Amino acid sequence: MASRDSFLLRIDPEVLSALRRWSEDEMRSLNSQIEYLLRRSLQQEGRLKPRSDADALSGNRRRRVPPASERLPPKDAETTVDDVT
């Protein structure tokens, strides 16, 4: 595993809460989610090269889980009028 640097991050509690929810939806640790978002943003802005195929195949990536708003309810779940908009 590659070595990692650590640092203290001061963050707005509302942003932290949203990141925690998102990381749970994506089945990632909070640290992995923050690193994923930073890496994606840096790549989109052309400030970081995309990972090589070897890195992508190393098993460090996780399957994307759709956000709760995109998930279908279980087949045995009851649907109410409030659920349908």
Q: In the predicted model, is pLDDT for residue 47 greater than 60?
A: yes
Q: How confident is residue 16, by pLDDT bands cut at 50, 70 and 90?
A: very high
Is 36 a domain residue?
A: yes
pTM: 0.58
Q: What CA–CA distances, in Å, run from 53 to 2, 46, 56, 75? A: 16, 18, 5, 38
- Whose structure tokens read 């998102």? 22
- Count CB atoms within 10 A of the CB of residue 26: 18
- Whose structure tokens read 């070595």? 3
**Structural domain of 45:** 11-59
Average of pLDDT values for 34-54?
Answer: 89
Q: In the predicted model, is pLDDT for residue 33 greater than 90?
A: yes
The pLDDT, as a whole number, for residue 81 is 57
The pLDDT, as a whole number, for residue 78 is 67
Is 23 a domain residue?
A: yes
Is 84 a domain residue?
A: no
Is 1 a domain residue?
A: no
